[in-house]
Chain A
Amino acid sequence: MDIDINWGLLAPVIALQLILMITALVSLLRAQTVRGTKWIWALVIIFGNMIGSIVYFILGRKET
């Protein structure tokens, strides 16, 4: 059974998800060093949805 989704309604939510993901990726690319490996963090951010980006921002970034 397919759900009748009103995409116009969900567009802002999807846009927010994208903003979050892109911010996390930009931050990852520009970071000098991160905890762990960069390409693993990239996978976490892309496939981990919102949680992936949050985990990156909290754990991945090194405090300078």
Chain B
Amino acid sequence: MRQAWLIYRKELLGMARSYQLLWVPVVLMLLVVMQPVTSYYLPEILAASGSMPEELIAGFPIPGSAEVMAGVLGQYSTIGVLILVIAGMQAVAGERYGGTAALVLVRPVSSASFISAKWAGQMTLMLLSFTASYAASWYYTVLLIGPVSWREGMIAGGLYILWLTFAVSLTILLSTLLRGSAAAVISLLLMGALSLGYSLAPAWFSWSPGRLLVEGTAAFGDSPLKPAIFPSIMTALLSFVCIISAVWSLRRQSIPDLRGD
């Protein structure tokens, strides 16, 4: 535990030094805050573009707060995941190929504490970015468009946090197995396949983490909330399996061949 704590603190220090702890949350905040802002100014933006008749613009409805919040969530499932995966792709791979991992792991440091510290570091970054940006977009939506239901907002946020937790865990596993950019590409493809799989064949993929995205967005709809308990448990389980496999594969990996660099 002590070792994991030390590596975790070192990890946070490294993220602060590379400005990751600052730019990832700021970028996500900017991305999702633009959603309510552009929705609010949409009629004026359309008018300024000058190609639409006045009557049409006057009758153009400003989307409701539920729609805007659903749009905000949409940003996380695409660009949000992209940024988090790119930020995390070097977490283990960078140290493995940079030779630091070898230096750390020849000491009596277990690969379990190494991986869990890395995971905790990426989770901190994710939770910080998500909370800050979700709160900011919520605030803007309430201010500009209208009240957001607490219950719906919290449920949707929780489901997305779970989905992003899975993204972080998968990235850590792939970063242990592969080099950084390959890890990023493959985890993005897997995440995409999971969410696409559920929208194409919901019956087959009812266990899939991809379902959390659909249920999270639907939390803002008119339909009564369906419990997403089964996919939530599966997602938590899959994240755990990713971490365990990462520990296991790091333990049996030899020190990577550095001649290829």
- The 8 Å CB contact of A20, one of B20, B27, B34, B48, is B27
A43: CB under 8 A from chain B?
no
Interface size class of A (residues with CB under 8 A): 20 to 34
Residues of chain A with a CB closer than 8 A to B19's CB: 23-24, 26-27, 57
Contacts of A1 in B (CB 8 A): 47-48, 50
**Residue numbers in A under 8 Å from B37 (CB-CB):** 9-10, 13
For window 1-52 of chain B, which residues contact chain A by CB distance below 8 Å? 18-20, 22-23, 26-27, 29-30, 33-34, 37, 41, 44-45, 47-48, 50
Residue of A with least CB distance to B27: A54
- B26 near A4 with CB under 8 A, answer no
Interface assignment of B74: CB less than 8 Å from any CB of chain A: no
User: Which residues of chain A come closer than 8 Å to B45, judged between CB atoms?
Assistant: 3
A38 within 8 A of B: no
A-B contact count (CB 8 A): 58
Closest CB of chain B to A63's CB: distance in Å?
5
Option from B29, B94, B180 in Cβ contact (under 8 Å) with A16: B29
Q: How far is the CB of A29 from chain B (nearest CB, A)?
A: 12
Which B residues form the contact surface with A (CB < 8 A)?
Answer: 18-20, 22-23, 26-27, 29-30, 33-34, 37, 41, 44-45, 47-48, 50, 83, 86, 90, 94, 98, 136, 143-144, 180
